[in-house]
Amino acid sequence: MTTTDFRDRLYELYRPPSDRFTFVDVPDMQFAMIDGHGNPEGEAFAQAIKWLFTVIYPIKLDTKKRLGKRFVEPPLECLWWADDVTDLITGNKDKLKWRLMIVLPHWTDDTLFAQGVETAIERLGEKPASLQRGILTEGRSVQILHKGPYEDLRNVCAKLHQEFVPEHSLKPNGHHHEIYLNDPTRTAPEKRKTVIRQPVI
């Protein structure tokens, strides 16, 4: 896969239509990941985001320097789940479990990732215990693009899990997945774009 192929594949995966649910075949992809639980408005969630972007920044620079490849920083992503799926659908934030992620270029190896982690440690101190580079396998998935405030995501989530999935005789085959295409600190709520994805069988 070339740099152009990588960019084009991300565009295909991260730009679904906003007026309907569509199916997509998601390839195995590697991510920088941090796990946590509880309210995403809490300090642990914010610190995990800071760690991921600090780790990936040196990878972006080092990739261009060492490999001569152009790397556009991908968006923040998050897997969400709960012991009771109702807590996920209704947005019971204190009961949620999450895995924050940023996709890594396919050429990222152990050495390159370790360099990013070491740079982050120099800036932020002791690294989170769950920080890792891992592969996410999703395969056949349903997704849609939501435009608007994050608070409205629960309505789309409910429609996906309570209407579309059962009406099409599908079953979830992995965690609920959200991809945040905008920086919320720089984007008005009504202009935010979020991909909602659910692996299915």
pLDDT tens by residue, 158-167: 999 999 999 9
Q: Distances in Å between the alpha carbon of 188 and those of 27, 53, 75, 184?
A: 32, 21, 17, 7
CATH of the domain at 133: 3.20.80.10
Q: Are the beta carbons of 94 and 39 closer than 8 angstroms?
A: yes
CA-CA-CA-CA torsion sign (62, 28, 45, 143): positive
pLDDT greater at residue 35 or residue 60: 35
Range of the domain at 17: 3-199
pLDDT greater at residue 56 or residue 105: 56
> Measured between alpha carbons, how far is 155 from 160 in angstroms, rounded to an integer?
9
pLDDT tens by residue, 101-160: 999 988 888 998 999 999 999 999 999 999 999 999 999 999 999 999 999 999 999 999
Work out the percent of the chain whose per-residue pLDDT is above 70.
Answer: 91
Torsion of CA 84, 89, 93, 97, to 10 degrees: 50
Q: Are the beta carbons of 124 and 118 closer than 8 angstroms?
A: no
Is 36 in a helix, a strand, or coil? strand
Using pLDDT thresholds of 50, 70 and 90, give the confidence band for residue 22: very high
**pLDDT at position 1:** 60
Is 198 in a helix, a strand, or coil? strand
Residue 43 has pLDDT above 80, yes or no: yes
> For tokens 């659910």, what's the residue?
198
In angstroms and rounded to an integer, the radius of gyration of the C-alpha atoms of the chain is 17
**pLDDT at position 85:** 87
The total number of structural domains in the chain stands at: 1
How are beta strands 22-26 and 193-199 bridged, if at all?
unpaired
C-alpha closest to that of 97 among 155, 48, 163, 25: 48
Which of 69-73's residues contact partners 24+ apart within 8 Å by CB, and which partners? 69/3, 69/105, 69/107, 70/3, 71/3, 71/105, 72/7, 73/102
Is 195 in a helix, a strand, or coil? strand
Angle at which helix 110-124 crosses helix 43-62, to 10 degrees, equals: 130
Residue 176 has pLDDT above 80, yes or no: yes
